[in-house]
Amino acid sequence: MPQALLARGLCRRYSWSGGHQDALRGVDLEVPTGTVLGLIGRNGAGKTTFLRIASTSLLPTAGSMQVLGHDVVTDAVNVRERIAVIPQESRPFYWMNPRELVYYYLTMRGETHRVAREKAAEALAELGLTRWENTVVSRLSGGLRRRAMVAMVMASDAELLFLDEPTTGLDPIARRSVWEAIRKAAKANRTIFLTTHYLDEADALSDRLALLESGKLLASGTRDDLAALARRPYRVEVSDGFPEEELRSYGDLSRVGERWMLFTGEKEARELSRRALEKGIRLSLGPVSLEDIFLQMVGQDISVEGEE
């Protein structure tokens, strides 16, 4: 499968008088055409820096990146004709309504007026914004504004869409409508590059995942590939009944409210289930979630801020 994005040894250093910060440290990553890639990591892990280099807003300090077969440094013009981006924390013009936002974004990109009108109506309907299409942005809620931004890039003819935290601040229902739009775009063989720190979102949408931490790529692949990399692929939750020392002997143990949570291997999980049956203790057992994998790889909660 051809690669929509191919990064090799990508580095980015931010320098200022008296110091510097390496936001990316030799990242290698591939994104096959027509897939949804979810780039996950804590705040400050380097996700936005990576996305900004890929969307030609920022130059790398070392390494190379090709987007849709063109080098992002030397051949940015050809990249730009085929991509679209929603930057993190971007906001729409407050004096325009959603219909105008999408329409003028499309005509600015070069669409004819007729096509822009049609595509705007279609994208607004898809994101559940038809009811508000003539309401100026200043009267819309934060969630509706964010959806209008998503509608802008979804309506474009870009083959590769970069979405930087597209659902931040949205309620669960609005998030689902954005997810549906992303899924529909993916079905139309568009490539989606999504950064998010909502792991459920990355899990629900992505064909492939990449985990970035402190500017380094810790892992990339399908959900199963990442699960296989987890040191302890099973998660056990159990109430009191087992001595703490015994539970600790099965794997990584932590206390979550009134329950014990344990990451463990397959053999240990079987043994623990057998012991629970013998003792008549109830436990829940299942494969690790994406969040569990993240915790095991990074060693901290995703909500803990990384160094910026």
Partner 1 sequence: MREHKLRSIAAIISMNAFLPMRRQPLFLINTLASPFSFLFFLAVVGRPGALIYGVAGGLVLTVLSVGSSLQSDLTHYKADLKYQEMAVASPVKASTYVTGMALSEFVFAIPGMAVFAVLSVIYGHYIFLGGLVIFATLILLWVFASALGFTLATYLADVRETFMISPLISIFLSVVPPVYYPLESLARISPYLVWLAYAAPTTWAAQLVQGALGIIPLSLFQGLEDAGVLLAAAAILFFIAATKAKWRET
- List residues binding partner 1 (CB under 8 A): 52, 55-59, 76-77, 80-93, 95-96, 100, 104-105, 107-112, 136, 152-153, 156-158, 162
> Given the complex with partner 1, which of 1 and 77 has the nearer CB atom?
77
> Given the complex with partner 1, which of 76 and 218 has the nearer CB atom?
76
Q: 308: buried, middle or exposed (CB in 10 Å: 19+, 13-18, 0-12)?
A: exposed
Q: 279: buried, middle or exposed (CB in 10 Å: 19+, 13-18, 0-12)?
A: exposed
> Given the complex with partner 1, which of 12 and 232 has the nearer CB atom?
12
Both structure tokens of 34: 């027509």
> Given the complex with partner 1, which of 113 and 131 has the nearer CB atom?
113
> Given the complex with partner 1, which of 43 and 90 has the nearer CB atom?
90
- Torsion of Cα atoms, 37 then 186 then 180 then 124, to 10°: 120
Q: Residue 170 CB, nearest distance to partner 1 (Å)? A: 17
How far is 134 from 148, CA to CA, in rounded Å? 12
The total number of residues shown for the chain amounts to: 308
> Given the complex with partner 1, which of 112 and 141 has the nearer CB atom?
112
How far is 154 from 151, CA to CA, in rounded Å? 5
Q: Residue 81 CB, nearest distance to partner 1 (Å)? A: 5
Both structure tokens of 113: 């007026």
Q: How far, in whole angstroms, is CA 15 from its chain's centroid?
A: 27
Q: Residue 140 CB, nearest distance to partner 1 (Å)? A: 14
CB 106 within 8 A of CB 119: yes
Give, as one character, the DSSP assignment of residue 231. S
Q: Residue 12 CB, nearest distance to partner 1 (Å)? A: 10
> Given the complex with partner 1, which of 138 and 284 has the nearer CB atom?
138
Q: Residue 53 CB, nearest distance to partner 1 (Å)? A: 10
CB 250 within 8 A of CB 271: yes
> Given the complex with partner 1, which of 156 and 220 has the nearer CB atom?
156
In angstroms, the first-to-last Cα distance of the chain is 35
Checking DSSP bridges between strand 251-256 and strand 259-264, what pairing results, if any?
A: antiparallel
Q: Residue 86 CB, nearest distance to partner 1 (Å)? A: 7
How far is 193 from 40, CA to CA, in rounded Å? 11
Q: Residue 57 CB, nearest distance to partner 1 (Å)? A: 5
> Given the complex with partner 1, which of 113 and 267 has the nearer CB atom?
113
User: What is the enclosing helix (H) or strand (E) of 152?
Assistant: helix 142-155
Q: Residue 102 CB, nearest distance to partner 1 (Å)? A: 12
Q: Residue 147 CB, nearest distance to partner 1 (Å)? A: 16
Q: How many CB atoms lie within 10 A of CB 45?
A: 29
Give, as one character, the DSSP assignment of residue 112. -
In sign, the C-alpha dihedral spanning 79, 81, 85, 87 is: positive
